[in-house]
Amino acid sequence: MSTTTITTPGLPFARLLRVEAEKALDTRAARWLLIVTALLTLATVALPLALPAEFEQSPTGYTLATASAVMTLLPAVGILLLTSEWTRGTILVTFTQEPRRLRVLAAKTAAGVGLGVAGALFAFAVTMGGVFGADAVLGRDVSWTIGSAFGGLLAVSVLNMLMAAGFAALLQSSATAIIVFYVVPAIWTAFSIGVLADVRPYVDSSQAFTWIIEGDTAGNWAPILVSMSLWVLVPLVAGAWRVATRDVRS
Amino acid sequence: MIEAHSLTKRFGSATAVTDVSFACQPGTVTGFVGPNGAGKSTTLRMICGLARPDEGTALVDGVPFAELPRPMRTVGALLEASALHPGRSGLATLKRACTLADMPADRPQELLRLVGLEPAAWNRRVGDYSLGMRQRLGIAQALVGDPRILILDEPANGLDPEGIRWMRSLLRDFADRGGTVLLSSHLLAEVQATVDRLVVIGGGRIVASGALDELLHGTGTLVRAVDPAALEGALRTAGVAFTRRDDGALSVEAGVQDIGLLAARAGVALTELRQADGGDLEDLFFTLTGGETALETAA
């Protein structure tokens, strides 16, 4: 397959990516999700401003708050970009226009990752605005050390969008993918008692995301790698396999 | 050129398509007809690389669909009129397809005019289109990359008689310029005037295929006499096989001239004598697809 792709180009990837990025943004659902994400991100920066005792007054502390909207809502856009094609049956058209299905999946995943990068940039801008406000307007004693705050935010936002793409590719249904994406990690956390509590760091994606944002990775590489493999790599590989092999029916 | 070689498709324990083979040549319009559920869509999806055959292969332009170097420039497909995003306008839908196929920016408007969609509808949401309008948009989308091959699943669905006539001349032109057309229908009458060749499928198997004229000829001669019993007697005496039709006429497996001479010698006055026409092809269709499945054509 890959050799075929190289010797016979098909549609240029840049063109596929451009079209998939447009598709991601031109539906009403996507536009509203993006507007709400932006508004919520602006709202969440009020938390560390209002509760200085709860949040470290630093880029890292503020990022833990501002990342939440981006981490929660953007994946829905990424999921819908994939699953709505199956739900609406338009995948019939998409896969006859470019029958190399994995290239379509790659373009859609890349569009989602691009959205994750844009979301991280926006959230970090809001973060720095908040820290500046705390410093200059409220006169708080803030730390301006960026440390791993931005890199961590960028990394988790991208990982989160990859995780969304994996679930979407694997489940190929908007309702199922969204429910599973939001509910299953939470259920894992809820059941993490007793013996399960010991393995929890290895299966808890949100714990891994927090470590990455806080830059607290040094002693935690093993659980981070295991949980990211489980939540990001496995769904992506299984999803790609299912997209490539499953018959398209409507 | 489209080639299906012994395509077989199973869904669980049920076999949807069995050993289906046919070829469509450039310059021809092939009608792929059969009752609903006969396996038409499944076959077209295997040809378009959307469903994997359990056995056999399908080639388009000499290669499997998934290996076409420039799919949009080679094949245009309309597999499902509802497979259009309802939230986008017709114009936006075609613009996106033109971006993908790297076609000039004025092509969407040109195509919308070609398929007869009024400019007032161009910027309306596809969700507000009628089925006929969606079929026209779907055909426009299939034509975006100026392909040499068209694969259309039930394109006449939802089209009014004027629309069917329009589609007929569009596909005829396309084939006359060297294009290859494969279109399916569950209604023979709908495609009869459009196609040069027929592939008839029933119960997942090809039951007849060939040039339309040949298939027509195969149904023989239609003859009607003032005294049907006398005509039947004369045919029996001459050892010519015939079948009695519901309307009193006879279908005879012999040429028009032979029957005319035979009737004259027997002194039987005829009221009608001609080669069986399209009306009989409908009978052929029903016969070939079998009583039980033929009933579904009414649906």
Q: Tell me whether residues A93 and B45 touch, CB distance under 8 A.
A: no
A28 is in which domain, residue-wise? 10-245
Total tally of structural domains belonging to chain A:
1
Residue A3 lies in a domain: no
Q: Looking at residues B58-77, what average pLDDT do you find?
A: 94
A5 in contact with B at a CB cutoff of 8 Å? no
User: How does DSSP classify residue A81?
Assistant: H
Max mean pLDDT range (A213-222, B192-201, B249-258): B192-201
pLDDT per residue of chain A (250 residues) written in tens, 0 to 9: 444 444 445 778 999 999 999 988 888 888 999 999 999 999 999 999 999 888 999 999 999 899 998 999 999 999 999 999 998 889 999 999 999 999 999 999 999 999 999 999 999 999 999 999 999 988 888 888 888 888 999 999 999 999 999 999 999 999 999 999 998 877 877 776 777 777 778 888 888 888 898 888 888 899 899 999 999 999 999 999 999 999 987 5
The whole-angstrom distance between A41's CA and the closest CA on chain B is 27
A27 in contact with B at a CB cutoff of 8 Å? yes
pLDDT digits (tens, 9 = 90+) for B73-129: 999 999 998 889 988 999 999 999 999 999 999 999 999 999 999 999 999 999 999
Residue A4 lies in a domain: no
Q: Looking at residues B58-73, what average pLDDT do you find?
A: 94
Residue B181 has pLDDT above 50, yes or no: yes
Residue B255 has pLDDT above 70, yes or no: yes
Residue A2 lies in a domain: no
For chain B, domains (ranges, CATH) are: 2-209 (3.40.50.300), 220-275 (3.30.70)
- φ, ψ at B272 (rounded to 5°): -155, 135
- φ, ψ at B31 (rounded to 5°): -95, 130
Distance of CA B254 to the CA centre of its chain: 28
Rounded distance, CA A139 to CA B25, Å? 80
Among all residues of chain A, which has the CA nearest to that of B144?
A97
B269: helix, coil or strand? coil
Among all residues of chain B, which has the CA nearest to that of A14?
B100
Of A28, A97, A247, nearest to B72 by CB-CB distance is A97
Q: Tell me whether residues A247 and B141 touch, CB distance under 8 A.
A: no
Helix A59-88 and helix A28-44: axis angle, to 10°? 170
Residue A5 lies in a domain: no
A83 strand-pairing partners: none
Q: How confident is the model at residue B173, as a pLDDT? A: 95
Q: Looking at residues B225-233, what average pLDDT do you find?
A: 91
Q: Ramachandran region of residue B178, left (φ > 0), alpha (ψ -120 to 50) or beta?
A: left
The whole-angstrom distance between B146's CA and the closest CA on chain A is 13
Residue A44 lies in a domain: yes
